[in-house]
Structure 1
Amino acid sequence: MTQYTAVITGGSKGIGADLGRRLVAKGYDVVSLSRGAPEWSDPRLTHVEVDLLDAEATAQAAAQIAARHEVTHLVHNAGMIWPNLLEEATPADLAGLTQLHLGAPLILLQACLPAMKARQFGRVMFNGSRAALGVPTRTAYSATKAGIIGMARTWALELAPHGVTVNVVSPGPVQTDNFWDIIPKGSDREAELAKRIPVGRLGTVRDISNAFLFFCDPENGFVTGQTLYVCGGGSVGALSL
């Protein structure tokens, strides 16, 4: 049986943890990168503690992982929102989220890419966001999540000859800690938002990990450079949080 190893940033909880568990169940080894310890455990899970906002620390972690593992899958799932109205947004917001959403996966893939190219196989995925299409109070978040789409398309073109696909899963409002940091759990605001989503509900972590599993599949090598909105129809029209 072919052995696969998936690196998942933000794999300690939420979407990343759900995906990690499901990949382990398929026989994958999983390396989770996060600032805190994972909320789950398994003999096939390795945890690397790192702050992806720190480029130097990320580079050290990437080198360590590449030296110890033959990485076949890279899932950049980690993200932060940092909401601000335009008047309060700062260049520091842009710099920080650029490192987290764009710099960190660049560093990680550069470390893992030699093994993928040697194997002529790889799966690279991003957790994007429906907010790339625009959401109030998301200057830095929307800009950097939109940047993910452009970077993924560029990588897809460069890496296609090497059997490496690059795709983006872009969730709408999903029941995670990041969402509840902005909209209180169980609040009237949460209920009203759910009603405005065309399918009539918020997303779940399983909704999103389902999409990642499709892109992870070794048999899905003819799909690359794509952005899949998993948003209950919220990307079809305007949706204000």
Structure 2
Amino acid sequence: MDSERPEPPRPRGTGALLRHALMEMERAYETAGRATLRDLLRPLGTRQTALGAALLALPFLSPVSLGPITTPASLLIALLGVRMLRRRDDAPVPERLLRVQVPRSVHTVMVAMLQRVSHWADRGRGARRSPWVRGTAGRRLCGAGVLAGALLLAVPVPLLPLTNTLPAAGIILFVLGWTNQDLRLTRYGMGALAGSLLLFATLGAAAATAGWAAVQALLPG
């Protein structure tokens, strides 16, 4: 029986482990007909805190609405960021949150988005291993970036170009900068979050000046 078979060893590389987690979710859809946030995190093993945040951020790179998964995913990313800041990988996640089902359509988007960022995920460790992407300082910097990105994802604005994409990219880049010890990716993550802040500030200023309806009328789609 499948339940009696020993669990296969997890891949060690960051990109390979992320793909492994999505494959395990696909197996859950095929065997149980559904997959939950628990099914997303479990295959990541001891690396689920950082890599879980990256996986959860993947669908936000797409302009497609995520529906009911949006709020739970943002909340779980924030909790994982706090875990990193506090250096508490064993901090419990609310059971109710872990039981949230992930629509198969969202899983499909995650697979597509991972393919787009695979060149970053599969990078080897950076040649220049700055202390900002290693040890306690690197972990806390990554946690701060993940938490900041999650808070930006939670900003209650309609689905507009880049409002989700930039924070999600920032989260993913912070995580990959930490896991691959690549300061360049962490800097890209900082740039993505800074761009997101600038975008929200610009939208807020425009809405205050001309009204939100006028701002929406100028946006594509």
- TM (norm. structure 1) is 0.30
Whichever structure has more helix as a proportion of its residues is 2
Of structures 1 and 2, the one with the larger relative CO (CA 8 A, separation 6+) is: 2
- TM (norm. structure 2) is 0.32
Whichever structure has more strand as a proportion of its residues is 1
